[in-house]
Structure 1
Amino acid sequence: MAVDPSGADLKEFLAEDPDEPVVMLNLLRFADGGRESYARYAEALSGVILPRYGAEVVYAGDGGAAMVAEAGQEWDAVLLVRYPSRTAFSRMVADPEYQQVTALRTAALTEAVLQPTRPWGRDGARGATP
């Protein structure tokens, strides 16, 4: 199961609107011992790398028992990370310093979802903000 975006994934991601701000939803399922590896990855990002690209963690927390989901759809952790633009995210993942620590993330996970989100109400077509 893939846990890192491919070059094709990033190309499609940037094609939507490279200058648009984005909040990335991260759903994480850890390998044995993966929480510790992921914690080292997160620490490396929070100190220098995320601020360098104007990014910030909006929310990070452990997943609980799913209330509405099929068996096996629970996630160990959920993160929301805001980036000032899709281009900023793309530049971050290409950064040599990020490349040095991304192996910690890859080793930490057995499965992941990395999904860009868009706020409701921007163009009126996506629904109203609750």
Structure 2
Amino acid sequence: MPVDPHETALQEIALHRSGEPFVMLNLLRFAPDGRASYEEYSRRAAAFLRQYGGEVLYAGDGDTPLVAAQGQAWDAVLLVRYPSREAFSRMVADPGYREITSLRSHALDEAVLQPTTPWTRRAG
């Protein structure tokens, strides 16, 4: 299962609404003994998040799903806010950040990284 974004997807994200803040949904399934590696990745990634204006809004363990297809339970869920897609793209292109991504890759068996766009209130 894929755990790292494809280079084409990274290029695309910078082009889509690049000036607006967004929240990245992270769904994580750890490899056996992968949690420690992910915790080390998170500790090191925190400096890059701060540098590029990112902020972890929520991080927690998955629990028993109420509605999900078989095999869709996740070990952890994170919501990370970025000031823009361009800022996210600069962060993941940073050579220092790229040096630590192997910690994340080795920690996970499966992942979903889903950029989200906020709903706006509609006059009614």
* Other structure's SS at 2:78 match: strand
2:51 alignment partner in structure 1:
52
Q: Output the aligned Cα RMSD.
A: 1.3
Q: State the Cα deviation string for residues 67-101 of structure 1 (Å, max 9, x = none).
A: 10111000000000000000000000011110111
The offset of 1:57, in angstroms, is 0.2
What is the CA–CA distance in structure 1 between the aligned matches of 2:108 and 2:5, rounded to whole Å?
13
What is the CA–CA distance in structure 2 between the aligned matches of 1:99 and 1:12, rounded to whole Å?
18
Which AA in structure 1 matches 2:29?
R
The offset of 1:15, in angstroms, is 2.3
Q: Does 1:92 align with 2:84?
A: no
* Other structure's SS at 1:41 match: helix
1:19 alignment partner in structure 2:
19
What is the CA–CA distance in structure 2 between the aligned matches of 1:97 and 1:112, rounded to whole Å?
22
The offset of 1:118, in angstroms, is 1.1
Which AA in structure 1 matches 2:116?
T
Percent identity for Structure 1 against Structure 2? 59
| Count of aligned pairs | 123
Deviates further, 15-24 or 36-45: 15-24
TM-score normalised by L of structure 2: 0.95
User: Pairwise mapping of residues 34-53 of structure 1 onto structure 2 (< 5 A)?
Assistant: 34-46=34-46, 48-53=47-52
What is the CA–CA distance in structure 2 between the aligned matches of 1:117 and 1:28, rounded to whole Å?
17
